[in-house]
Each structure stands twice: as structure tokens, then as C-alpha cells.
Amino acid sequence: MRLETRKLLDKAFSGLGLIAIAVMGIALLLILTPIVWRGSKAFVFKGTIEHRRVMLEQFDRGNPDKFTREYTEITAARAPIYKMMEDFEAETIAQISSMESQMDAKKDRAKELKTAARALKSDGKADEADQLEAEEDRLKDEAKELKSRIKEFKTARTEPYDALHEAIRELLGPMPGQRTPVLLRQQYGQTRWDRTLVKLHEVLYTEEWDYSNADAMGVLVETPRVKQFKGTRLEPFFQYLEEHIEEMMRPKTTFYWQFITDKSKDSHIFGGIWPEVLGTIYLTLGAMIFAIPMGVIAAIYLCEYAKEGRVISFLRICISTLAGVPSIVFGLFGLAFFLNTIQVSDSKSVLAGSLTLSLLVLPTIIRSSEEAILAVPRAYKEAALGLGAGRWHTVMTVILPAALPGILTGIVISMGRAAGETAPIIFTAAVSVGAPLKIWETLSQPTPALPWNIYNLCTEHEAVDEIRHVQYGMVFTLVAIVLLLNLFAILMRARISKKLRG
Amino acid sequence: MSEKANTSLIMSDAASRNQRIANLLGRAFLFLITSLSTFAVFFIFYFILKDAIPFFKLEGFKEFFTTARWYPSGSPAEFGALPIFLGTGLVTLGAILVAVPLGIAASVCLSDLLPFHIRQIVKPVIEILAAIPSVAYGFFALVVFAPLLQNHGGAILSAGVWIVLGPILALIVVVSGDLTLDKLRGKISPKAGAAIVFPILGTLAIALLYSLSSRLSGVEISSGTNALNVSIILGIMALPTVVSVSEDALQAAGRELREGSYALGATRAETIIKTIIPASISGILAAVILGVMRAIGETMVVWMASGNAARIPEPIYNVLQPIRTLTATIAGDMGEADHVTGSSRFHVLFAMAFCLLAFSFIMNLASEIIVKRSRKKLGK
């Protein structure tokens, strides 16, 4: 090969490496951007009047007087559309009743003719009677036709109207004068402006999937709903709604930091994620309570006391095996051992979950503590031993303090790991819905936790699309917790390495 | 020195004995705590096996490992886990195809190419990739990536072809063009030869890329939750493990080897490919094994985004179809099986967990042995 080519290849090789690094960075960005961007919208968003209503009625937050004033204005802005709906209902009823009275008139006339025809027959005037009967049949047919037309008219009017009614209720909340629905989610309209616009679109257009082309996937066809109400009192309704939606909902930029500290209402349709956050904190701290002493002591033993030999290398193999056990297997083990065998609690509980998680992070803590202890300069130890301190004394007063930042780094990283693990807590600690636990209840009660509820909300919740913002908010919170812990660890490590370099 | 001073400095026999005993007890206590993690490993094996054995007693091995019908809730229940094993294998293979080339290239870059201060920036990126919880990856795969794949599948696939094959083909064109020029030397002038050879090869490469990408851009993906989605995400998740372990291995190859190679006139690329990578191949192998373990043991991503269909894809390498893995089956079926603790439906999940456990144990042992041997070879 020529020298130029070799040089070119060398550069190309460097290029490939740089591409790999770039791909990694881009992947990280691509994954974090939607989570951070849409996650932050759970906290900062345009809240409508309905959001303020939920806050006031469910969380006792906000100024009632100001709200009442605003709400009167909004009721005024909404009044025309409810009026139109009422008019439409009245109009429909009037039309139906006029058609019905027509039908009744024809029926009555037919009956009259029948009796008249019978009278004529008994008089022996068969010709005239036949004429009358023919007339009667015609009227009867007309009445029947009218009846079927009424039926048609009813379905043509009521079915779209019911759909519209439902869509409006979802958009603005229950109609004035309606009985308060039982479900909390039906008591309020859309609380967020972005969801309001989606729901507004659903009011304005009807959606249908067209599968007529069997080769391709279904195509979404949208038709303006106004077509269904051509020529009725509701015809101007849609334009009015579209033009005045802002006055009806009053979107206002809201900073809802209480998203983290609020309980959820009606399975996360309203409110925040406090039970999940608290559960995650309990589980993480619980895991640390068990894992830190065990891990640090094991590291001290392995570094300071153990003589390399068969037993120790066996121990090390066990530790690395423990590190390699898939997390779901930890979950099964926690179920089979902590819950089914030694029964630390009757049902799933934070305690069982913490114990399981502590086994999961144990190898990480042992390894990082070992590294930290080994990084303590030998001179420290020798100086302490030379001063006559015993081995235990040396460890406690010289080595551990010197290694503490390093050990803490490992602990913080494994806290992040424990906070984010889902598989081990599925069978041991997590439930989908629950109240925040008191500290003593953690011994016997299961808890909601961020990782599990993220899974649960985005796969099993009945209104997955409605609460995307809650899901993103949860993911954002979890990722923020974990990354902050890791950032802390990274900074701490940078300080240690600076110190060690002098 | 007087007798009196001597006795006050030396401990009495009793005190010395007491201290020795205390010391011994302390050590025993420390050893006990340390071996707790050992007990944990044994306990895990024991308790998983204890609940797995009843399944094999009830249903035998043959159906579980060789048949493809998975209907644990049917009557009679069928426990053919072959599609699930294949699904696990498929996504793991996919993840490795993503993670290993990228990871090795990145680790080479980190250990040999980048200056120190840039490395300090890249390292946290890797750490963050490793730290993001698996459920967040799963959420991304299900909520962001799956709809993208479903709606713009063809475009994404053909862009992927350009990104992956583009640089590789460019490299091949350069090398093969140069080799042909070398052969033609003396027959025509190098400049004229270059003017002929490179355009021909370049057009060929671009034509190949174009035909491939246009064929792929017509593909419609019926479901975004499929093996491809999961493979890519798992690959990204396994990347940090592969990068950091193989970077350690490359670093361990040492300065002397590199300098020796440079002294013989090799370029950096040649040094790395011909000297450093062969010298640290065992460490890189260990990195790959750890990456495999990460991909196989991952639960949340596959549970959320693999589609969870216990079918063998047709044809078997079709990554655009939904699949199901061991971990996802355990996580998903336990909720239903839990009510009937003791049935084969419950125990089959432990049987699967045992397969996972055994596999990861063997892999782990293999990587331990490989690393140990490589250390011996490098004389450390």
C-alpha cells in the first residue's frame, strides 16, 4: 500500500472512532430531549380555568374570590353555546312533535274513514266503501312512512347530537344544571391548553378509519362535524366554539411545581405524583440501610484482612456472579425468599422490596468501596500502624475517613441504580395505586414507586393518551433524580482525583 | 532498662490473650458479613431451583425446550418456550450487532485518539447512558420510538442504511481503489488511473446504497413494538458496559507495545488494529460477554416495547415482527400466575428464571476466566 493511502486510512479510522462517539452522544440527546422537554411540561404548561377549578376544589389552593369572578365571566362566555344546544334540542323536539302530530292526524283520519267505510258497507254502498278503503290504505301507508321518517330523523339527529354532547362535556366539563357525575374525571373539563386543543379538534371533526384499500394501512378520514348539523340551530355553533374557545377556557401559563408533592386524584387524571416519589425514596433509602453496612464491611474485610487464597477468590467469584444476576431474577428471588419463605411481611411491602434491592446493589457498593480503600496511600496506613494503632483502629480512624469520599461516590451511584430499578420491585413492593405511606407502614405495606408506575401508566392505564404529560413528568422526575445523584458522584470523583494528584 | 519498666510495656498474658480473642472474633464477624453476599448467591440459586424443579417434574424437559406452542393458560396448558428462547436470542443478537461495533470503535477512540480533556467530557456521557433507568429507556422505546418506526419506518430504515453502510463503503472504495492502482502501476500514469478507478468504484458503491435504501424505504412496519426497536434500544443500553470494559482492556495493553509498533513505522490505525486489539482481545471479549449479559437480563425495555408475541418470526430473522423474551414473560405472567402458586404456570416462570440465571452464571465465569488469563498474559 502506498504511504498516502495508509495515511488516509489512518484518518478514516480516526473518523470511524469519532463517528462512534458522536453516535453515542446523539443517542443520548435523542433519548433525553423528549423526556426533558415534554417532562418539563408537566410542571410548566398553559393551564385552563378547569385546572384552577381542580386546584381550588380538590387541593384548596388559589384565591376563591378571584376564581369566582373569573368563573362568572367564563360562564357568560360559555352561555351562548349551551343556549344553542338547548335551542337545538327544543327545535328537534318541536320538529319531531309536529311530524308526530301530522302522523297522528293521518291516523285519525284513516280511522274515521274506516268507520265511515264500514257504515257505507252496512248500507250496501260497496263502491263508495271501496273508494274510502283505498283512501284509508293510502293514509295508513303515509302514516307508516311518516313513522319511519320520524325514526330516521330521530337517529339522524340524536346520534350525532349525543356524540357532540359527550365531546363537549369532555372539553368543557359537565353542562350547567346537569347532575354532578360520580367519576372525578367527568366533573371537570380539560385542564391543559394542549389537551383542550386536541379535544376541540375532536368536537369540530369526526374521525373515521378508511380500510377500503386492503393493501395499505387504514387511512384516517376527518370530516367537519358541522356537516351533520347543516340547516339546524347548531350550524353556527362550531364556528362560535372555535372562535371563542380561549375566552371559555382562559389558558394561562402555570407553574405547577406541586406536581411532585401533590397526591394523585382519580388515578393520575388530576394531581401529582407524591406517592410514587415517596415510595421511590423509601425503597432507595431502605435498600441503602441494608446494603451500605454489608457492602462497606465486606470491602474492608476484602482489602485489609483477607489473605488472597482459595476462599477469597471464591468470595470474589460469588460477588461478581451476584453482580451478573438479571434484575428480574432478583425480583423472583425476593418473592420466593423474603415473601414466601421467611415472610418478612404478609403482602408485598417496602421492606421486602428494599431487601431485594439491597442485594442488587451490594456488589456495586463492595467494588467501589474496595477501590476507594485501595486508593488510600499506603503511607497513611503504615504511619498509623507505626504509631501503635491496631488494625481495626487504623481502619476506623485513618483508612475509612480517607476513603470516605470514594465510598460515598459508590453509594450515591448505587442509590441511583436502586431508585431506577423496576424488575426487582414488581413482585416484592410495587402497587399501581396507593396513598403515601407513613414511615412505620413501610414494614408491612406495598407502595407505588416511580419506575413501576411509569410502566403501569403507559401500558395499562385506561386513558393512556390523556395523561401523557403525567407519564412524561414521572419519567422526567425519575431521570432527574438519577442523573442528579450521578452528577453528584461525578463531581465528587473529580474532586477526589484532584486531591490525589496533589 | 529496669525490670519494672519492661513489665509495664509488655501486656500481661491474660490481656494479650483477650485481645487475640477479640481480634479473632472481630475477624470472624467481618468474614461472616462478607460471606453474606456468597450466601445470597447460593440462596438465589437454591430458591429459584426449588421452584423450578416442580415444573420439570410436572411437564418434563422436551415440551419446554423444543415445541413452539406457548399457551400457559389454555386447557390443557402448553408450555413450548422455544419462541421465547428464540426471541431472547434474536434481540440479544441485535443488541450486540448495535453495541459491539459502536462500542469498540468508541473505546478505541477514547483510549488512543482523543486528547485527555475531551475524554473528560465523553466519559460522563457514557456514565449518563449507563445511569438512565431501564424503565426510562422502555418508555422512550414505547412512546417515542415505536410510533416513529410505525409511521416513518421506511424512511428510518433507509436513513439507517446510509448512516451505517455509507462510511464503511467509502472506506472499502478507498482501499480497493488503491489496491487496484497499485497493481496497475507502471501500465498507466497514477493520476489517470485514479481518475478512472475511483469514479467507477464510487458510482458502484452509491448505486448499491441507493438500491438498498430505496428498497427499504418502501417497507411498511405494521407495529412499532418489534424486535428491531428493542434491539436498538438494548444496544444503546449495553453500549456503556462494552465501552468501559474494552477501554480498560485497551489501556491495559500498555505504552511499550504502542511505542514499539510506532517505532517500526506503523501508523496509528495499523498499530491499533494489528497490535493493540490483538493484545487486548480477551478483554474485549469479556466486554462483549458483559454486554450480552446486560441485554439478556434486561426486563423493562423488552416488556414494554417488544410486542410480547410468543411466536417465532417468519422468516426467523425478520426483526420487524413482535417477539417475546424470557424476562418479559416472567415479569408479565407472574401477575396472573401468582394467584395459583404451585401450579405449573407459576413454576414455569421459575424454570425460565433458572435458565437465565444459569446462562448469566456461565457467561460471568467465562468473562472472569478470560480477564484473569489476559492479565497473566500481559504480565500483570
State the pLDDT at residue B2. 46
Q: Residue A428: CB partners within 8 Å, gap ≥ 6?
A: A331, A334, A335, A338, A339, A348, A349, A352, A353, A355, A356
State the pLDDT at residue B337. 67
State the pLDDT at residue A32. 94
Largest CA distance in chain A: 143
Is B333's Cβ below 8 Å from some Cβ in A?
no
Tell me the one-letter amino acid at B368: E
Q: Would the pLDDT of B336 be above 60?
A: yes
| Cα of A262 to nearest chain B Cα, Å | 22
Q: For residue A483, give the nearest of B47, B51, B328, B128 by alpha carbon.
A: B128
State the pLDDT at residue B88. 93
**Phi, psi values for residue B229, rounded to 5°:** -50, -55
State the pLDDT at residue A289. 94
- C-beta separation of A269 from A183 below 8 A: no
Is B293's Cβ below 8 Å from some Cβ in A?
yes
How many other CB atoms are there within 10 angstroms of residue A478's CB atom? 30
pLDDT interval class at B134 (50, 70, 90): very high
ipTM at complex level? 0.89
Please list every residue in chain A whose beta carbon sits closer than 8 Å to the beta carbon of residue B105. Answer: 16-17, 19-20
| DSSP class per residue in A397-436 | IIIHHHHHHHHHHHHHHHHHHHHH--HHHHTTTB-SS-PP
Interface contact flag, A479 B136, Cβ < 8 Å: yes
Q: For residue A487, give the nearest of A401, A396, A416 by alpha carbon.
A: A416
State the pLDDT at residue B356. 93
* Cα–Cα distance for residue pair B297/B327, rounded to 1 Å: 7
* Cα–Cα distance for residue pair B330/A330, rounded to 1 Å: 12
Sign of torsion over alpha carbons A267, A268, A274, A276 = positive
Region of poorest pLDDT, from A20-24, A490-494, B184-188, B255-259: B184-188
State the pLDDT at residue B340. 62
Is B296's Cβ below 8 Å from some Cβ in A?
yes
Please list every residue in chain B whose beta carbon sits closer than 8 Å to the beta carbon of residue A366. Answer: 37
Share of chain A above pLDDT 90, in %: 28
* Cα–Cα distance for residue pair A58/A278, rounded to 1 Å: 20
Is A431's Cβ below 8 Å from some Cβ in B?
no
DSSP state for residue A217 in the 8-state scheme:
P
Interface contact flag, A317 B365, Cβ < 8 Å: yes
Provide the chain A residues 189-228 that lie in CB contact (below 8 A) with chain B.
Answer: 216-217
Q: For residue A282, give the nearest of A365, A353, A187 by alpha carbon.
A: A353
Q: What is the mean pLDDT of residues B26-35?
A: 86
Helix (H, G, I), strand (E, B) or coil at A264: strand
State the pLDDT at residue B1. 43
State the pLDDT at residue A141. 87
Annotate A78-121 with three-state secondary structure. HHHHHHHHHHHHHHHHHHHHHHHHHHHHHHHHHHHHHHHHHHHH
Provide the chain B residues 59-78 that lie in CB contact (below 8 A) with chain A.
Answer: none
State the pLDDT at residue B5. 47
Q: What is the mean pLDDT of residues B294-307?
A: 90
In tens, the pLDDT along A304-337 reads: 888 878 888 888 888 889 998 999 999 999 998 9
How far CA B37 is from CA of A83, A184, A298, A323, in Å, comes to: 73, 49, 9, 10
- C-beta separation of A271 from A264 below 8 A: yes
* Cα–Cα distance for residue pair A212/A186, rounded to 1 Å: 36
In tens, the pLDDT along A459-476 reads: 888 888 888 999 999 999
Mode of pairing for the β-strands spanning A219-224 and A205-210: antiparallel
CA angle (A168, A173, A175) in 5-degree steps? 75
Q: For residue B123, give the nearest of B138, B141, B109 by alpha carbon.
A: B109
Computed over every residue of chain B, the mean pLDDT equals 85
DSSP state for residue B187 in the 8-state scheme:
T
State the pLDDT at residue A304. 84
State the pLDDT at residue B341. 63
**Phi, psi values for residue B151, rounded to 5°:** -90, -35
| Cα of B81 to nearest chain A Cα, Å | 18
Long-range contacts of B95-98 (CB under 8 A, 24+ apart): B95/B230, B95/B231, B95/B234, B95/B235, B95/B237, B95/B238, B95/B291, B95/B295, B96/B235, B96/B238, B96/B288, B96/B291, B96/B292, B96/B295, B97/B231, B97/B235, B98/B231, B98/B232, B98/B234, B98/B235, B98/B236, B98/B238, B98/B239
Is B88's Cβ below 8 Å from some Cβ in A?
no
Low-confidence ranges of chain A (pLDDT < 70): 1, 214-217, 501-502
C-alpha cell at A129: 266503501
State the pLDDT at residue B347. 87
In tens, the pLDDT along A132-166 reads: 888 888 888 888 888 888 888 888 888 888 888 88
Q: What is the mean pLDDT of residues B245-273?
A: 89
Residue entry with cell 418506526: B149
C-alpha cell at A188: 371537570
Q: What is the mean pLDDT of residues B325-334?
A: 90
* Cα–Cα distance for residue pair A71/A250, rounded to 1 Å: 10
Q: Would the pLDDT of B60 be above 50?
A: yes
Computed over every residue of chain A, the mean pLDDT equals 87
Q: Let me know how long chain B is.
A: 380
* Cα–Cα distance for residue pair A329/B48, rounded to 1 Å: 8
Q: Is B228 exposed, middle or buried (0-12, 13-18, 19+ CB in 10 A)?
A: buried
Provide the chain B residues 43-62 that lie in CB contact (below 8 A) with chain A.
Answer: 43-44, 47-48, 50-51
Q: Is A127 exposed, middle or buried (0-12, 13-18, 19+ CB in 10 A)?
A: exposed
Region of poorest pLDDT, from A214-228, A270-284, B16-30, B295-309: A214-228
Count CA atoms within 13 Å of residue B280 on its CB side.
Answer: 26
Domains in chain A, start-ordered, CATH in brackets?
51-255 (no CATH), 264-501 (1.10.3720.10)
